[in-house]
Structure 1
Amino acid sequence: MRRVNHLPADDQSCGWFHLSRKRQPAVPHAGKTSARWVIVGAGLTGLAAARRIALHYPNDSVVLVDAQEVGYGASGRNSGFAIDLPHDIGAPDYIGDLATAKMNLKLNRAAQEIIKGLVAEHGIACDMQAVGKYQAAVEARGIAVLDAYRKGLESLGEVCEVVSEAELPERIGTRFYKKGLFTPGTILLQPATLVKGLADSLPENVTLHEYTPISAVQYGNKITLAHEHGAIVADKLLLTNNAFASSFGFLKRRLLPVFTYGSITRVLTDEEQSRLGGLPVWGIIPADPFGSTLRRTPDNRLLVRNSFSFNPNGRGNGRFLHRVAQRHRMSFERRFPMLPNVEFEYTWGGAMCLSRNHMAHFGQLAPNVYGALCCGGLGITRGTITGTLLADWLAGEHNQLIEFLLSSPGPSANPPEPFLSAGVNLNLMWGQCRAGKES
């Protein structure tokens, strides 16, 4: 059997997870089980795939396993932006090729519709609000990015609104930014609550096992997944575990597990809310990809996300947390000088699965093995839609969106170590330094 060398190990301080609805985790797997469909990774992609496979094949058993608790991993650690627009950070205008951008727009909006439908159907109280997002800048370089992005959106036929320096405080409270670009289609939500709610509303023929890290795998006509307390035998295996797919033998030296970090404050007092001003709920993404993401949540907390690290094994590293909390404090104080005594309640890290050419994998990996991998920083929408469409494709469906995903060249190869880590870390350091005040 092939050993699975790297397993998830996220830090214990994710604010979204601890502030979300408490639930009873599903029991870990024990003994030996056989199922037609087994899915590894119970984040947004895996949950979407499991749900859709179960609906296509109501008489089949579907087993979904995760090494940790649902909502504890990457899907519950992002900033909670379900973005509809193309978000190609490799393109100077965030749009890139127009034909590709139009397809990504369709994918993202299809994902939003799926999420809205499931939240309504199952009563998932994840603070979902369709309030749009602001992309904001403070330096000339960032303002130039906003101008390019606006032109790109116009060429795509999408609505956007330029918000001046004078107008921004009425929207977001802070006077820090020099210019903003508002786009109305983004949905903000509490990511860990969403993921937990999706897990607790799976179809009856899906069996979820949490705290079941797979330690070895054997491929063939049947696929055997071994762990400390037993084994699961699958006819068909779906990998929805992003960078950890490399430990299962696929896309080796093609995936980049890059961690980013967030901090969230305690609840603001009524007096602090008055001093802050602005709208009661908003979200900001930076013009510079290495800048700070910000949110004001429905329960009146403020979130700051910035800073990056490359963790080749895909595991969280707690030694970064104290350092990034200090950086978050500096970013917070620059933006909210009117709130000098507002402490961070939680600071955490979470992984994004990236590739050097900004491409994902969708489709077959080996006989009886399939994957939807590498969401590229758009986990809520891209994970939801690729998991759904992978299941549709396996059920024999074909449509424009599936064909588009299947046509991707996939993630490009990375250079070998130690050149890879040196190159990625230098790029991350340079990007964060170059972001300047945007960070």
Structure 2
Amino acid sequence: MGISRRKLLVGTGVGAGVIAAGGGATLLTDNLPKAPDSLLNIDALPSDDPTPGWFHTSVKRQPKPALVGDANAPWVVIGGGFSGLAAARQLALNFPDDRVILVEAQQVGFGTSGRNAGFLIDVPHDISAPDYIGDKAIARNILNLNQTGQRILKDLVEEHNIVEAHMRHSGKYQAAVEDSGFAVLDAYRGGLESLGQTCKIIEGKDLPDHLGTKFYRKALYTPGTILVQPSGLVKGLADSLPANVTLFEETPITAVEYEPQIVLHHATGRILADKLILANNAFGTHFGFGARTIFPVFTYGSLTRPLTKAEQESIGGQEFWGVIPADPFGTTSRRTHDNRILIRNSFSFNEDGRHKPGYTQKYRQSHRLSFERRFPSLKDVNFEYTWGGGLGMTRNGSSLFGELRKNVYGSLGCNGLGTVRGTAMGTMLADWLAGKRNDTIDFLLSLPKPEWNPPDPFLTMGVNFTLRRGMHDAGLEA
């Protein structure tokens, strides 16, 4: 997990995306409606570093072809991650006679949804509240939202036999080294118990039997978390979409017109849509929505080579586990299904939502230090992959959900919880568009809009300062 949006933003007054600039473009065909004055050029196309470990160690698949020429559909979804896959699937089920086009700028599983730590977390976690739960009614709704996302993914994995997801109901450990972290764990335990959620404190002397390391001094274990191979899961979800969904990969949208008809421009043609769903998280700002409310923060992960049998025996512990830090700027770690160790920490503010050259090499050094602190006997085990991945953050933790303008809808700003929350929100958005209502939809529609944030240079200065201070103050938990 890692960074918390409240830890990032409290006291700094920062955060925002950048709206795309308008301009002209050369029209590729002459038989579609033209509205040059309304053309919005997309000024930053998704671009991630080439070394995401989850993607390269997951089952290889043949990506769907890029779109060549023109296409049209009643429904078009932009974004092939958890939110977009969920929205496209549910739209196809709700409207079985309609074609649904799903457009992904890169390959499925290569972008943000395949670059997280693979935690499907059920319980809420609000560090701005003394008990990390806060308002009980809101917390119960968040719990329901997260569990809804878990159930959807669990059911799909079972229904379509997505073995490459490596889904395990193993729970999670929130672990601490510093005394300040102990206070976090004790407060959170009280909050979870007030919600009726099962949890238990595990003392440091017992943790090596769980985690294979003597590094941590205390942990709070919650059993409801599911761990997955995120890129493998997303690939499997993409390959099991309903027959009336057409997926185009490696098809970035370069410009959009909203009036008089929705027209999406790409490298070799255009897509006409009756209704458009944006499920591209922080990149929604480049489509004209969420400007100065959603902003991209990147976090970084490294994955070791597989441990040998002797190395596995030398550390002991359970064969599969996941740890999140008590300090939001600390280190998330995992032991994976193929006996690798994941280390995930360090953050950067990438204003345009794209990777920055040199950053993976920079943060790989931090990962090395964190790894050797936890597993000194494995100091000769090298990292095979290091990568970064973006989070769409908002100042108050809210998301853009619902209607953005006429015939345009969105599920944007997942605040680092895109696995379960993105899945639930994408599904609920498609149900709402089909005229369905339930408590989860009503909750999402009732949430306040994401708060506005100051423009640059104050935004960049504030976020960068907060990130540097947080990483420094994390101490041994980094």
TM-score (norm 2): 0.91
Query: Deviation digits for residues 51-100 of structure 1, max 9, x if unmatched?
Result: 00000001101000011000011000000000000123443433221111
State whether structure 2 residue 53 is matched by structure 1 residue 18: no
State whether structure 2 residue 125 is matched by structure 1 residue 87: yes
CA distance in 1, matches of 2:100, 2:144: 28
Shift of 1:253: 1.0
CA distance in 2, matches of 1:228, 1:87: 42
* SS of equivalent to 1:145: helix
State whether structure 2 residue 296 is matched by structure 1 residue 257: yes
RMSD between aligned residues: 0.8
CA distance in 2, matches of 1:369, 1:409: 19
CA distance in 2, matches of 1:257, 1:89: 20
Query: Equivalences for 1:13-92 in 2 at 5 Å?
Result: 13-92=51-130
- AA in 1 matched with 2:88: A
CA distance in 2, matches of 1:276, 1:92: 36
State whether structure 2 residue 352 is matched by structure 1 residue 313: yes
CA distance in 1, matches of 2:236, 2:290: 31
Q: Which residue of 2 aligns with 1:198?
A: 237
Query: Equivalences for 1:221-240 in 2 at 5 Å?
Result: 221-240=260-279
Q: Which residue of 1 aligns with 2:31?
A: none
- The answer as to whether partners of 1:244 and 1:314 remain within 8 angstroms in 2 is yes
Shift of 1:34: 1.2
State whether structure 2 residue 165 is matched by structure 1 residue 130: no
Q: Select 1:105's aligned residue among 118, 135, 143.
A: 143
Query: Equivalences for 1:274-423 in 2 at 5 Å?
Result: 274-423=313-462
Query: Deviation digits for residues 96-141 of structure 1, max 9, x if unmatched?
Result: 2111110011111111111111001111111100010000000011
Q: Which residue of 2 aligns with 1:177?
A: 216
* SS of equivalent to 2:181: helix
CA distance in 2, matches of 1:94, 1:41: 32
Stretches (4+) displaced over 2 A: 87-94
Shift of 1:221: 4.8
Q: Name structure 2 gaps, 5 residues minimum.
A: 1-38
CA distance in 1, matches of 2:379, 2:298: 28
Q: Which residue of 2 aligns with 1:150?
A: 189
Shift of 1:314: 0.2
Query: Equivalences for 1:156-171 in 2 at 5 Å?
Result: 156-171=195-210
- The answer as to whether partners of 1:264 and 1:303 remain within 8 angstroms in 2 is yes
- The answer as to whether partners of 1:259 and 1:310 remain within 8 angstroms in 2 is yes
CA distance in 2, matches of 1:161, 1:202: 39
* SS of equivalent to 1:167: helix
CA distance in 2, matches of 1:188, 1:112: 10
* SS of equivalent to 1:86: coil
Query: Deviation digits for residues 203-231 of structure 1, max 9, x if unmatched?
Result: 01000001111011000252000011000
Tell me the number of residue pairs that the alignment of Structure 1 and Structure 2 aligns.
439
CA distance in 2, matches of 1:222, 1:124: 38
* SS of equivalent to 1:10: coil
* SS of equivalent to 1:338: helix
- The answer as to whether partners of 1:111 and 1:381 remain within 8 angstroms in 2 is yes
* SS of equivalent to 2:398: coil
Q: Which residue of 2 aligns with 1:117?
A: 155
CA distance in 1, matches of 2:277, 2:125: 26
- AA in 2 matched with 1:103: N
Distance 1:221 1:96, change over 3 A: farther
CA distance in 1, matches of 2:356, 2:183: 35
CA distance in 2, matches of 1:333, 1:13: 22
* SS of equivalent to 1:115: helix
- AA in 2 matched with 1:159: T
* SS of equivalent to 2:73: strand
* SS of equivalent to 2:70: strand
- AA in 2 matched with 1:102: R
CA distance in 1, matches of 2:368, 2:214: 17
Which piece of structure 1 moves more, 415-424 or 93-102? 93-102
CA distance in 1, matches of 2:459, 2:131: 27
Distance 1:89 1:65, change over 3 A: farther
CA distance in 2, matches of 1:91, 1:312: 29
CA distance in 2, matches of 1:160, 1:415: 40
* SS of equivalent to 2:376: coil
